[in-house]
């Protein structure tokens, strides 16, 4: 009986992992399709404003925001502006400009490497040599993927700088979060982030004349799908899988999002996938695998040595993120 339960549990986990990759990828695909007929800002406004209102009502009813210090409120708002407003605005603008969905999805695949390697030293955390190798391979893979898209889409080469803006926003949010001793709960944190983002989006959309939504049914279907799949379904599966398989395996799943999105973009949107594109994804995958294997070996060594012998100053950023899943959710929640 226990064997059957174990098999069933494994099947459920695999199914959840597959659903996670599909729903997370859908955020890029929905945005690429919806921004053909609507401004990225318009789509984002009507994705975040209803979500913020719902979260505010829930927080008010549950009292989840009770006792939050004003300083924590300000810092969380700033983190939300970077990690959601800045990131999502840059990503949606990149998709609307014609950058391939798989290329944009690479942000989710490689940004943990960039944060671990580049932000780690800024925070006084040690980065091992093999992890720098992983970063180099991942960066080379990104270059290959981007180069494979030149001349094959309507995007101007300078538009690819939006991907750097999105990455920079995530890194900025990470630095602020890591240097702040925030005590807000997850529900309150998400509410603050969504509300700050909604307010910023409304102000920017009003200033650019893109606040009013189109009357088309397809627009509201797109916003509903964006709220249901990449926001609610993918986010819920993220937390469930985090408890089920751990942060290392979840990082591997996050990388699968990029090639899956590229294939789906080729099938649904006619986007180009070349040999160079595939080579780029393979290099990125090798880089991610290098870091994950190194991290797993390091964590195993720490366990063998005993928790009492660990030097917190020598623990790298990704190992620390495994103990602070709130940061992982902050970095990966919205696309």
Do the beta carbons of residue 197 and residue 45 sit within 8 Å?
A: no
Q: How many CA atoms lie within 13 A of 147 on its CB side?
A: 12
Domain that holds residue 196: 2-332
| 334 pLDDT higher than 50 | no
| CB crowding 167-183: b at 16 or more within 10 Å, else e | bebbbbbbbbbbeeebe
Number of domains in the chain: 1
Residues 6+ apart with CB under 8 A from 270: none
Do the beta carbons of residue 288 and residue 108 sit within 8 Å?
A: no
Highest mean pLDDT among 58-62, 116-120, 130-134: 58-62
CA angle 84, 85, 87 (to 5 degrees): 65
| 331 pLDDT higher than 50 | no
| CB crowding 212-240: b at 16 or more within 10 Å, else e | ebeeeeebeebbebbbebbbebbbebbee
pLDDT-based confidence at residue 116 (cuts at 50, 70, 90): low
Residues 6+ apart with CB under 8 A from 209: none
**What pLDDT shows up at residue 245?**
78
| 313 pLDDT higher than 60 | no
**Structure token pair of residue 258:** 């990029």
**Structure token pair of residue 28:** 């890029």
Higher pLDDT, 298 or 268: 268
Do the beta carbons of residue 76 and residue 189 sit within 8 Å?
A: yes
Closest Cα to residue 76, out of 171, 195, 166? Answer: 195
Residues 6+ apart with CB under 8 A from 121: 127
Residues 6+ apart with CB under 8 A from 131: 113, 116, 117, 290, 291, 294, 295, 316
Mean pLDDT, residues 95-121 taken together: 78
Mean pLDDT, residues 22-48 taken together: 92
| 136 pLDDT higher than 90 | no
**What pLDDT shows up at residue 295?**
66
């Amino acid at each position: 009986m226990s064997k059957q339960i174990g098999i069933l549990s494994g099947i459920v986990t695999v199914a959840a992992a597959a659903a996670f990759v599909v729903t997370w990828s859908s955020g890029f695909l929905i945005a690429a399709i919806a921004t053909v007929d609507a401004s990225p800002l318009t789509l984002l406004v009507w994705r975040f404003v209803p979500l913020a209102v719902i979260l505010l009502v829930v927080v008010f009813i549950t009292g989840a925001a009770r006792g939050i210090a004003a300083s924590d409120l300000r810092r969380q708002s700033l983190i939300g502006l970077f990690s959601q407003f800045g990131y999502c605005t840059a990503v949606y603008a990149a998709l609307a400009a014609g950058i391939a969905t798989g290329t944009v999805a690479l942000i989710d695949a490689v940004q943990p490497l960039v944060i671990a390697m580049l932000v780690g030293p800024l925070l006084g955390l040690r980065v091992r040599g093999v992890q720098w190798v992983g970063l180099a391979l991942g960066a080379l893979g990104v270059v290959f993927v981007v180069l494979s898209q030149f001349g094959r889409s309507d995007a101007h080469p300078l538009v690819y700088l939006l991907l750097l803006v999105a990455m920079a926003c995530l890194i900025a949010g990470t630095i602020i979060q890591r240097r702040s001793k925030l005590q807000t709960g997850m529900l309150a944190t998400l509410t603050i982030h969504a509300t700050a983002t909604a307010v910023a989006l409304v102000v920017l959309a009003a200033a650019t004349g893109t606040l009013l939504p189109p009357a088309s049914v397809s627009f509201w279907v797109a916003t509903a799908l964006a709220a249901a799949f990449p926001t609610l379904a993918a986010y819920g599966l993220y937390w469930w899988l985090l408890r089920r398989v751990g942060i290392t395996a979840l990082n591997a799943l996050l990388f699968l999002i990029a090639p899956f999105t590229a294939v789906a973009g080729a099938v649904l949107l006619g986007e180009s996938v070349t040999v160079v594109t595939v080579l780029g994804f393979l290099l990125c995958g090798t880089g991610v695998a290098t870091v994950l294997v190194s991290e797993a070996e390091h964590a195993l060594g720490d366990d063998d040595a005993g928790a009492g012998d660990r030097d917190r100053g020598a623990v790298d950023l990704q190992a620390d993120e495994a103990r602070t899943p709130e940061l992982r959710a902050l970095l990966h929640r919205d696309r």
